[in-house]
Amino acid sequence: MFDANYFRAVVSGRERGVRASILRTGLSLAEPFYRVGVRWRNRQFDSGKREIHRVEVPVISVGNLTVGGTGKTPMVEWLARWFRERGVRVALISRGYGAEAGSLNDEALELEEKLPDVPHLQNPDRVEAAKTAIEELETQLIVLDDAFQHRRIHRDLNIVLIDALEPFGYGHLLPRGLLREPIANLKRADVIALSRSDAVDEATRTKIRAKAMKHAPQAAWLEVTHRPQSLLSAAGKENQIDSLKGQRVAAFCGIGNPAGFRHTLGELGADVVDFREFPDHHSYQRSDIDSLSAWARELHLDAVICTHKDLVKVGVERMGDCPLFALRIGLAISQGAEALTQRLESIADAIAQVEADASGTV
């Protein structure tokens, strides 16, 4: 067996040698079977053989085409804040991948800390979770996290994120590449957002856009960046991100796309002397924390940096002899904000009309 980092190196072609070539050949042989399964499942929904449930409130889905991180959590947070600022009662619903029994997974813990007034329901049966949100929490809007492939719930807005650093899964479906389904299925998208758009040049962005919009000419196009906001400790202490400049730091993360995190640290001017990657949704144990602390002591650092998603699980203020901070990231729309806002305002207006009808006002 091999870990996620080696798998990514193999399917991307970065890993060379006989072993990698044999693995790519084997994965290529399995790819057609995955393709058939995806096609069959989508046809079941397209033909009506599998039911798509309509719930009583508007639904927005945030998802992606590939496995790994594309910045869904910042987008979910941004959407929830946009509607909460307009008085809409929002609930987040996700499958809860990576959660231990009876607990929330890392994304939910992170969002709970950032959005204390927005309930987050995790249930593999997202239709049932939606009913609970509406009936018990009086939810007016549901945001589905990681749900482009979850087609059992009708959605009023389908947002798909594409990571600028790994936009199309190296051109192959799982297991040969990172695509969950063919690129042509972007035709179901209402909005396509290029995340981490500042990590590539304009020519690359134009090329990615042309390829995506070929399959979804009806979709709105966004370009978004993940902007660092502050450094946060487990105790809630915040430092300015400028304090990282020129500092000797080490970083670790257990996220879907560690390259994006490392890129951000470099952009902030930190001297990243070492970097450790854990599997996505990694559940940190005491042995991990002890190992990271010993690692930090050996490197003689000014600070250790992780993602907010990691900090909510690690929960300590220091690694070795130096402070531990999470880099808090917020989403900013650099292109296409007006097109997205128009769609969101249409949904907000519909919610307001339902409320007005229910209260007997005009």
CATH of the domain at 318: 3.40.50
Question: Is 28 a member of any domain?
Answer: yes
| pLDDT at site 112 | 86
**Residues 160, 70: contact at Cβ < 8 Å?**
no
| pLDDT at site 98 | 58
Cα separation, 257 vs 158, in Å, equals 22
Q: Are 208 and 345 contained in the same domain? A: yes
Q: Are 353 and 281 contained in the same domain? A: no
**Strand partners for 90:** 141
The number of folded domains in the chain is 3
Count of other CB atoms within 10 angstroms of residue 155: 24
Question: Is 52 a member of any domain?
Answer: no
Residues 6+ away with beta carbon under 8 Å from 309: 73, 106, 107, 110, 253, 254, 255
Q: Are 117 and 254 contained in the same domain? A: no
Q: Are 197 and 338 contained in the same domain? A: yes
Query: Measured in Å, how far apart are the chain's first and last C-alpha atoms?
Result: 63
Q: Which of 262, 258, 252, 249 is nearest to 284 (CA)?
A: 252
**Residues 215, 187: contact at Cβ < 8 Å?**
yes
Cα separation, 351 vs 205, in Å, equals 35
Q: Report CA-CA distances (Å) from 294 to 300, 318, 319, 320, 322.
A: 11, 11, 8, 6, 11
| pLDDT at site 255 | 87
Q: Are 231 and 312 contained in the same domain? A: yes
| pLDDT at site 161 | 97
Question: Is 256 a member of any domain?
Answer: yes
CATH of the domain at 87: 3.40.50.300
Cα separation, 97 vs 314, in Å, equals 18
Q: Are 97 and 190 contained in the same domain? A: yes
Q: Are 157 and 256 contained in the same domain? A: no
Q: Is the pTM of this model over 0.75?
A: yes
DSSP 315: -
Question: Is 51 a member of any domain?
Answer: no
Q: Report CA-CA distances (Å) from 20 to 12, 13, 308.
A: 11, 8, 34
Amino acid identity, position 236: G
Cα separation, 330 vs 73, in Å, equals 10
Cα separation, 317 vs 322, in Å, equals 9
Q: Which of 191, 185, 227, 226 is nearest to 209 (CA)?
A: 191
| pLDDT at site 361 | 57
Q: Are 316 and 340 contained in the same domain? A: no
Cis peptide before 167 (omega within 30 of 0): no
Q: Are 42 and 157 contained in the same domain? A: no
Q: Are 151 and 231 contained in the same domain? A: no
Within the chain, strands assigned E span: 59-64, 90-94, 120-122, 141-145, 157-163, 191-195, 220-232, 238-239, 248-253, 271-277, 303-307, 318-319, 322-335
Question: Is 159 a member of any domain?
Answer: yes
| pLDDT at site 330 | 87
Torsion sign over Cα 315, 318, 319, 323:
positive
Number of helical H runs and strand E runs in the chain: 10, 13
| pLDDT at site 227 | 87
Question: Is 54 a member of any domain?
Answer: no
Q: Are 267 and 219 contained in the same domain? A: no
Instruction: Taking each helix axis as running N to C, give the angle between helix 4-12 and helix 18-46, from 0 to 180 degrees, rounded to the nearest 10.
Output: 90
**Residues 227, 329: contact at Cβ < 8 Å?**
yes
Residue ranges making up the domain that contains 124 = 59-225+332-359
Cα separation, 261 vs 238, in Å, equals 19
pLDDT mean values, one per 10 residues, the chain (362 residues)? 79 94 96 97 96 97 90 93 97 78 70 90 94 97 96 97 94 96 97 94 97 97 93 92 94 86 89 92 92 95 95 93 93 95 97 89 54
Q: Are 345 and 219 contained in the same domain? A: yes
The token pair at 33 is 């079977």
SS3 161: strand
| pLDDT at site 136 | 97
Question: Is 53 a member of any domain?
Answer: no
**Residues 313, 284: contact at Cβ < 8 Å?**
yes
**Cα 314 vs. chain centroid, distance in angstroms?**
20
